[in-house]
Amino acid sequence: MKVLIADDHYVVREGLKMILKKLDIIPFIVEAVNGYEALEKLEKNEFDLVIMDISMPGLSGLDILKTLKDKDKKGIFLILSIHKQEQLAIRALKLGASGYLSKDSVYEELTTAIKTVLSGRTYISSALAEKMVLDKKGGLSIAPHEKLSEREFQIMCMLANGKSVKEIAGELFISDKTVSTHRMRILEKMGMKKNAELTNYAIKNDLIE
């Protein structure tokens, strides 16, 4: 079994490798430390399982899922995140992920999630399942942040967390001008004028911690 682990944290990658090796499989593990490296490996190789962080330098997990979906490239993707928010999970699942899991999940849950997605099923928490049912029934209105592209959503969360344009540009390997353009479009789509409004909105909607 060929597995790609994409995460910029060494400790996380090592922990995941230990979990995989304890399962009843003998994986051939390939690693990626940022979004661009992960996408390059995914475009050139076929993997039986991809365990990917949603927030990585360069391209986010959502960016990668969107790119692969546009190219009609399918796979089994288990998305990991420091965020527990259902909104992020729903975005990932709509882009083709097989599961979404918080990084602070206990060993047993990680093991269950991996086994579940490998069996061809989707792994979601009970809270996420309830939210998705409401969404399908039309019980939830479209929130302002749902109007954003994947890249805009990523930058919106970073701005809401108090990061500067320069810091964001450095983390995503893009120019300050590109970040500023995204910021302008984000504020326009969200109907806001200041970063402080983004922060208040993000906190209220559990998009940041």
| 4 contact partners, CB below 8 Å, separation of at least 6 | 29, 30, 31, 32, 38, 41, 42, 45, 47, 49, 50, 51, 52
Instruction: Over range 18-36, report the average pLDDT.
Output: 88
Using the 8-state DSSP alphabet, how is residue 138 labeled? T
Instruction: Give strand pairing partners of 8.
Output: none
Is residue 102 scored above 70 in pLDDT? yes
| pLDDT, position 140 | 46
Instruction: Over range 66-95, report the average pLDDT.
Output: 84
Q: Where are the alpha helices (H) located in the chain, listed in sequence order?
A: 10-22, 35-44, 61-70, 86-94, 107-118, 126-136, 150-160, 165-172, 176-190, 195-204
Both structure tokens of 42: 């995914």
* Tens-digit pLDDT profile for residues 169-193: 998 888 999 999 999 999 999 999 9
| pLDDT, position 84 | 62
Q: How confident is the model at residue 137 (pLDDT cuts 50, 70, 90)?
A: low
Q: Are 63 and 151 in contact (CB under 8 A)?
A: yes
| pLDDT, position 198 | 94
Residues 36, 51: Cα–Cα separation, whole Å: 15
Q: Are 100 and 124 in contact (CB under 8 A)?
A: yes
